[in-house]
Chain A
């Protein structure tokens, strides 16, 4: 390699003149190409390519408390507008979606709140978001009833977390709900760690009220062939990861199982790789497992997903224009 090739492209300084649209700002970030701005502009480019690739199935991994923080409508809209094809989420994010669907709310709080005072007032804190205990109670009452109905409907048959999420979505009368949007749009939502959330606690209520008879039967292993089947039926697969954890690995492992690996990957995280935890692991490390192709279009953005994902979606919508119509890369319901 020649020295002049190494110094091929100078940094163009960011200019913010007059009114800038979101994507115009991203283009300025691209001109700089540096640090977080450069990574975000690459993430926007990759997401645009995923959306324009008619043979790519796009997975969204949701970890971290993004739904209580205010990302609920954005994700529901992404589902309805076909900007993603499959969601893999923590149970907790869908719990918080359900809390709002049954009339509860999340409140603006503060990270410096006196937590013992909050405790005495039955208020829970998620960094600077507050949730009143009564909204969890109302959730539990509703879930207990939903579980009874789902158990009766499936009469003892085991269901996957994906079917469970669909059953919940069918019962939620809220257009802004992620679960409802997914139900109406035939978009599967997988909840691989479903019991690690209020969904698990609600199960104990359902079980005790039914005296451990005729219970909802949920088997997370049933998700495995379902999600692998989606990857197998897709020419190419891409993922947008919020945080990481179990949702990220569930998607990557499905791609590995088909022996193909991910073709596109955008990971938004603030975790670090040195601990060996998945949320901070680099996409290069993921290549070593065969979960992401060596040739994949990929980038990690080290920033708060609450800032990054809305920008990426706004930029993509601006680039694609209102006339852009995307169809799903595979026939979901036929596949499941």
Chain B
């Protein structure tokens, strides 16, 4: 099994993110379940960050928009 490469920590590559306002904002399922504001910036992250198991284009595209 291929080992995960270490990624920069962003909401956009966290395991609990879904698209919301692509690519600027993502929806955090964990925060939604906890009744916190679930809409967060793609390039933000919190202490619960957990690397996503599969890659997406969120970070790359959000950085282009910066």
Which residues of chain A have a CB within 8 Å of any CB of chain B? 119-122, 132-134, 136-137, 140-141, 144, 205, 208-209
Contact = CB atoms under 8 A, between A and B. Distances in A.
Interface stretch (B3-11, B14-22, B43-51): B14-22
Interface of B: 18-22, 27, 29, 32-33, 35, 38, 54-58
Which applies to chain B's interface (DSSP): helix, strand, loop or mixed? mixed
Given A137-B27, A209-B33, A209-B35, A120 B55 contact: yes
10 contacts: A119-B54, A120-B56, A122-B58, A132-B22, A134-B18, A134-B27, A137-B19, A205-B33, A209-B33, A209-B35
A121 B20 contact: no
Given A120-B56, A120-B57, A121-B57, A134 B35 contact: no
A39 to B, nearest CB: 43
B50 to A, nearest CB: 17
A273 to B, nearest CB: 39
A140 B56 CA distance: 21
A132 B19 contact: yes
Contact of A205 (B22, B32, B55, B58): B32
B24 to A, nearest CB: 11
A141 B32 contact: yes
A134 B23 CA distance: 11
